[in-house]
Amino acid sequence: MAFAHVFVTHAILQERLTDAIIRQENLDPATVLVIRSRGSYRAGDTAAYPIRNGEEYLAANGRNLLRHRRTNRRRYAHFKAEVLDQVAPDFQVYAPMYTYWYINVLAHHAAAYHVLEDGFGSYQSREELGFYFNFLRVEGWRQQLRAWQARTTMVPGQRLNVGRTIALLDGVGRCYSTLPGCFPWAAPEKRVVVREVFPPQFVGEYTGAYVLGTSCLVESGYIALPVYLTLLRTVLTKIVARGITVLYVKLHPVQARHPENAPQYRAVLAEFRDQIELRELPQTTSIESLAAGNRITFITGISTLAFHVAATGSEVLHYHADILRLAPGATDYLAKTGVEIYYRIARPL
């Protein structure tokens, strides 16, 4: 059977959206093909639909033009055999607004191109999106040389035209998200809020719990470690002042994996052990699914995770003002429209 629906994911959010859209739109899983990329693919994963490894399609580039050209010829042939040759003539594609060459190829051939929510970028205005994609344009001879090398190593079917991603949005079909405020640039009739995206877990076990989710601002280069440790102490002091006696904490995965920073984060948490009971959640715990199974209060700085938690009906408290006070400009990279929507669904700590 040819595949009528092709989903592209590169994060757990799109994986959950895929399953929820299949249920909500009553799609036959036998007609669905999923391509996972950027670490979203996990060997051995099974589902009601076939899963392809998008990392195997990504374009190779570098100084050895001949070698990379041969590699890209093989990768395009692999993509064509696994995907393009397997889709129905009127297939539809569902993908985040990413610049993978194969998303553009799929969108070009598809009868309909639908967009999946993906972080703060999905809460940008059309003007902000245009600025972002214009920012990706090559400037200066070094960037132009690298762009020329990349295009030279690609086979014709892979080559991207600058601005094609933003142009795709003009003819977008539907925009699937967890909240109504997502995709503010799209016409209301094209926005689809997907229900029950996050399967409930630990039902009733965490009702009324306070959960702190930390951010990888240090690891991403936006805040110095000493400043972040001060921020963490400030947040914990505010939480204690609220009379909260038990706090669940989940470190951002990038923080938890950092061999030098993680012990320092946990050392700050330990400073408060006489004032509040702190329970660190395992990295395998999904806060979204935990919130779906319990009405919790989620505390964070500024994170797209807050949008998903709010969509479950749980409360969100933020300490964004403390970030701005201690590290001015640290979150300037975020879309202003997204921040405005964030303030509507979250209250100050």
Does 210-348 match 3-193 at the fold level?
A: yes
pLDDT at 17: 95
The neighbour count for residue 271, using CB atoms within 10 Å, is 12
How open is the CA angle 8-12-16, to the nearest 5 degrees?
Answer: 80
Residue type, position 277, single letter: E
Query: Is CATH 3.40.50 the right assignment for the domain spanning 3-193?
Result: yes
Q: What pLDDT digit, counting tens, does each position of 156-199 carry?
A: 666 655 446 677 788 899 999 998 889 999 999 999 999 989 98
Contact assessment for residue 52 and residue 87, using Cβ atoms and an 8 Å cutoff: no
User: What's the chain's length in residues?
Assistant: 349
Q: What is the pTM of this model?
A: 0.80
Using DSSP's 3-state secondary structure scheme, residue 7 falls into strand
From CA 222, how far away is CA 27, in angstroms rounded? 42
Residue 219, both tokens: 């690891």
Task: Supply the CATH classification number for the domain 210-348.
Answer: 3.40.50
State the CB neighbour count (10 A cutoff) for residue 177: 26
Residue 290 near residue 201 (C-beta atoms within 8 A)? yes
**What pLDDT score was predicted for residue 161?**
52
Measure the CA angle with vertex 203, ends 201 and 205; round to 5°.
Answer: 110
CA angle 169, 161, 62 (to 5 degrees): 130
Angle, CA of 304, 255 and 340, to the nearest 5°: 20
pLDDT, residue 162, reads 44
What residues does each domain of the chain span? Answer: 3-193, 210-348
Which positions ≥6 away from 266 have C-beta within 8 Å? 280
Contact 92, 4 (CB under 8 A): yes
Paired tokens of 199: 């399967």
- Give me the pLDDT at residue 132, please: 57
The H or E element containing residue 175 is strand 175-177
| Positions of the chain with pLDDT lower than 70, given as ranges | 39, 59-62, 64-66, 68, 130-154, 156-165
| Segment 37-46 long-range contacts (CB within 8 Å, at least 24 positions apart) | 37/8, 37/9, 37/10, 37/100, 38/10, 38/11, 39/10, 40/9, 40/10, 40/11, 40/12, 40/14, 40/15
Q: Which two tokens stand for residue 198?
A: 């996050």
